[in-house]
A and B are shown apart, each in its own frame.
Chain A
Amino acid sequence: MLTIADKVFSSRLFTGTGKFSSAEIMENALLASGSELVTVALKRVDLKAAEDDILSRLNYPQFNLLPNTSGVRNAKEAVFAAQMAREALETNWVKLEIHPDPKYLMPDPIETLKATEQLAKLGFIVLPYIHADPVLCKHLEDAGTAAVMPLGSPIGSNKGLKTIDFLEIIISQSNVPVIVDAGIGSPSDAAKAMEIGADAVLVNTAIAVSRDPVKMAEAFKIAVIAGRMAFEAQLGSINSYAVSSSPLTSFLDD
């Protein structure tokens, strides 16, 4: 079982709530995913228009909310956003994301490290979204991070695990859970991440923008379970030459 801070998760598939075509589809997809950690963003209350209340769609005992800091540009704004999230959602968990550049949404490592230090001191459970940088991961551990969330490829790109060699280094030396976040485009990407030993994956776009998000959510659920089972069972070694799977029975004469 996966444990982050003091919380135990039976599902290793974390999910986002963005980009779904309707609140009902979102709710049904999240339920089908089996996810127990669900991200939400923050926005200003629109005082002129009636708004759909996302929280009413997430009101299930298995869903733990993970507010993100998307939209902030530096550590100072991130700490403020986390404090607002804690007030609004009554959780001290936060997905720290600081990505000021809108084209690639690359996470700012310096501001992220600063914010992690400050938020950990303020009692937050910090899950920072970062590039797949093994050195940064070690600094984040020292800063008191609860987990690390390295990207597979840019947010929403569906490009899969472009950073796989560095994810493997991070996983091999991490003392905190490693959650592969961003870019996972298919269940096979998620399975691959789990096979190499990721503790969990976070998937949003690939589920939300598929033709049938509810079915895709279930496909991801199964893939994550399969990938984790394969990791635990330990994959066989890769060889350069064929290794016969059948015995040499010598049933024909020379």
Chain B
Amino acid sequence: MEITVNHQPYSITGSCSVIQLLTAVLQIPESGIAVAVNQSVVSKSDWSAYHLQPGDQVMLIKATQGG
């Protein structure tokens, strides 16, 4: 299925939870980030149970410098 992550297209085969997206597909650290799918926050506690659907728009954010 086709999804986007931070506006970039990704093609994923089979079922994919949020946690699988982070660890297997994107291979980024899980700490210090937040996830939204289609502009709705997905809590950490739901990362395993939440399965992505074709066309989902995933947003990943983290802290950066700011005042």
Contacts and interface: CB of A to CB of B under 8 A. Distances in A.
Given A47-B6, A80-B41, A87 B67 contact: no
A26 B65 contact: yes
Interface of B is mostly: strand
Contacts of B62: 42-43, 45, 51, 88
B52 interface: no
Interface residues of A, number: 36
Interface residues on B, range: 20 to 34
Contact of A65 (B31, B41, B60, B63): B63
Given A47-B28, A87-B44, A80 B36 contact: yes
Contact of A19 (B5, B28, B67): B67
Contact of B64 (A43, A84, A155): A43
Contacts of A155: 67
B32 interface: yes
A88 B61 CA distance: 8
A41 interface: yes
B65 A54 contact: yes
B59 interface: yes
A110 interface: no
B67 to A, nearest CB: 3
A42 B36 contact: no
B39 interface: yes
Given A39-B67, A87-B44, A45 B36 contact: no
Most buried by B among A18, A45, A46: A45
Given A54-B65, A87-B41, 11 more contacts: A18-B66, A20-B65, A26-B65, A40-B65, A42-B66, A43-B61, A44-B60, A45-B28, A68-B67, A83-B34, A204-B67
8 closest A-B pairs by beta carbon, nearest first, are A41-B66, A16-B67, A204-B67, A87-B34, A88-B34, A45-B60, A84-B34, A43-B64
Interface of A: 16-20, 26, 39-47, 51, 53-55, 65, 67-68, 70, 80, 83-89, 155-156, 202, 204-205
